[in-house]
Chain A
């Protein structure tokens, strides 16, 4: 096995090289391997968040494929005749009955079903955390703006996958979720009534929706997700990964272990760890026990009705609207209790989507950025992120308003009013606090660079004065604290035709907002002159 006869290469060759040559002469893959195989891949724990998303998606695909062999996306009514005694003889759709069969009559079926659900929950959560990492470190800056857009689209698609997925079993909980969707769609002006009618194939609930969601869930949406994930990763290769500031790292290099073998081993191993953790959760913790809910029926509902966690923000937005936001005008019903949440969430989504372009426009910085920011070094961006997170969290918490009220013995009204305040005032508070904390941390960094660490060593001077000796930083640690750029507010200047445009004024006011309060990194001159004035 160690040698392979070859006319062109008379010397002995290993199996590996022979095999590579065999494949290459038929695929021309060598150039690709040469280019990619030894690429340096920067390393940091926060870079794993995207991998968690990717790997949990792979688990979703594997487990979901297994489920398709058993699940029947039909709403034909049958009398349940499976192993779960409490529901025997109960009228339900084939979708619900086949989901119960997966859970109770197919060995390992419950395991795969629970793994699918848990992996989906992890998928969305990991995308969310990955996006926060990208946002707070400014890894969306040129040249990665488009990849931010792709990634955010994936986040939306993942939520759509989740919603279509948990609606499939046609149980009481998911049926109420669909009822809410139906009610929301009907509230949309002009097209709402017909959209709902066509979506459900007639009146709600109809006999079509599960089959239609199934097509979306296993065909259309996964195809989009797979395609966009592929594109997302192609861009990672094209851009090379960002890296954090550190000695030796520049905007022109990428430093890290090679893809083959170390990165491949770590990432490949990490895939199995994610897979294993999901298997552990699936074997120990129940998720979506539809047998407790029963089949969908428009009349009953259980208290504490809630969607999966990632839909919570939308449900919460509905709950926070005060009474009476609906009226008839021009002989038509205007449901602002539906429209306002839809518009607010829509605007929020668009703002997140286009944030990289806004920041680029304000800064006017056309250079490529491959060194990720420390969040404190971009205080306004970090504060905007904190405001956004607070806004989202307020909406999300509102989806549990009833549980908050019962659990902590509060009034429903009190909880809603408090959360209305969190959603409206909270972002401003979070913005202010985050910005001040960032600036304080930057000042601390300056202090450490200029005066070193407190060593804890107290020395008595000849004059009787006690001082604590400060230990200066070595040049490598110092570099991490000083290697960033600050931006100055834009100065308004007339353009070539001697005019000051409205766009220019707008940009200047944004720029003032962003960069008025800023802390510049320590320079060499400051360090040298500052040494003697303090101890």
Chain B
């Protein structure tokens, strides 16, 4: 503590403490005032009302055991409520009653124990305050030196530092040995699949009919009135044996009809719409939530997760929010029977961006 800039004859007060043990420990830039106040020591003990008044002590005692009896009552009530309020099949109200009355019984059982024991501790148990001495966490210098000696001795005896070839080869082996375990993680996903391939294709292909989500009923162009929006899945999705949700997570589409004059179509995609009917991927290009909210009069789509907004009239370009890319467009046409069909799969991967996407 004898630093030039902060020395002081009296290191009492706030720091008296430190001075007693850690003579050699630096206080850093702490300012130790020479004439700081001295710790006045403990104030006189204040007795509790239960210490002075035997009546109050008796009352506290009564309170505590009454609480414990109340707890027993609460437990018994919870058991009774379990039987008195059975869950009748198909009745949500019964579930609510069972939950509430069983729960309130348990609450009483627990809270009464809690308050009882705390009150016992605060009002009745002898009001003692102890003073423990703290010792430096590091222990005595001798112990520390002995511990250091253990390490230096074992280093000497094993030659860990001296025999560099042995040590370094061991470190090398220890670094490499977990690698086979890392390889095992390839088995976390099907061995015969690679993600980029899967992410690049959806269920849509030439001639797939657009169907209503979730019924799977195909949609006729004539049924799509101006201003309406449909949640769409590819026809046949509901009949899939496996991978229904995985396909749906890529193939979900929103279908909207605008006045053809309001549509500002992207160059090269003029024939991707049909008389003002446009179809866009419903999966947000940000992190993949369904872009489910359509504001009819502004032609804006809003993603409810992170509020990215897309302008349908302007080929779904991003007008606000964290998404960066427009929603991919599904090229549509009409078949002989008047049903809406896809011209081909999406021309780009749908959904959130990924590293290999370009």
- Interface residues, chain A, CB within 8 Å of chain B? 38-40, 83-85, 103-108, 110-111, 114, 143, 176, 179-180, 182-184, 186-194, 196-206, 208, 238-240, 245, 247-258, 261-262, 265-266, 268-277, 279-280, 282-284, 296-305, 315, 318-328, 331-333, 335, 337-338, 363-368, 370-371, 401-402, 412-413, 416, 475-476, 478-479, 482-491, 511, 515, 520-525
Contacts and interface: CB of A to CB of B under 8 A. Distances in A.
Contact of B31 (A276, A328, A487): A487
Given A252-B21, A283-B100, A365-B27, A202 B193 contact: yes
Contacts of B353: 186-187, 326, 333, 335, 338
Given A255-B42, A279-B106, 9 more contacts: A108-B82, A203-B250, A205-B245, A253-B131, A272-B110, A279-B107, A337-B322, A487-B30, A521-B14
Given A183-B287, A299-B213, A299-B290, A203 B121 contact: no
A252 B17 contact: yes
Contacts of A247: 39-43
B318 A323 contact: yes
Given A182-B287, A251-B18, A319-B307, A524 B131 contact: no
Contacts of A111: 98-99, 102-103, 106
Given A180-B305, A367-B22, A196 B195 contact: yes
A257 B131 CA distance: 9
Interface of B: 5-6, 13-18, 20-22, 25-37, 39-43, 82, 86-87, 89-92, 95, 98-104, 106-122, 125, 128-134, 136-137, 185-186, 188-190, 193-196, 198-199, 213-214, 231, 233, 243, 245-246, 248-250, 252, 282-284, 286-290, 292-293, 302, 304-309, 318-325, 351-358
A330 to B, nearest CB: 9
User: Which of A256, A323, A475 has its CB near the most chain B CB atoms (within 10 A)?
Assistant: A323
B125 A261 contact: yes
B127 to A, nearest CB: 8
A298 B283 contact: yes
B249 A298 contact: yes
B133 to A, nearest CB: 6
Nearest to A43: B129
30 contacts: A40-B129, A83-B87, A107-B86, A107-B102, A111-B103, A176-B289, A186-B353, A200-B189, A208-B188, A240-B132, A249-B39, A251-B18, A251-B134, A257-B130, A269-B114, A273-B114, A283-B103, A283-B104, A299-B252, A300-B231, A301-B289, A301-B290, A301-B305, A365-B29, A367-B27, A402-B304, A412-B320, A416-B321, A523-B34, A524-B36
Contact of B111 (A280, A298, A324): A280
B13 A483 contact: yes
B134 A326 contact: no
A266 B121 contact: yes
A416 B307 contact: yes
Chain A to chain B: the 4 pairs with minimum beta-carbon distance, closest first: A283-B103, A183-B287, A251-B17, A364-B28
Contacts of A318: 286-287, 306, 322
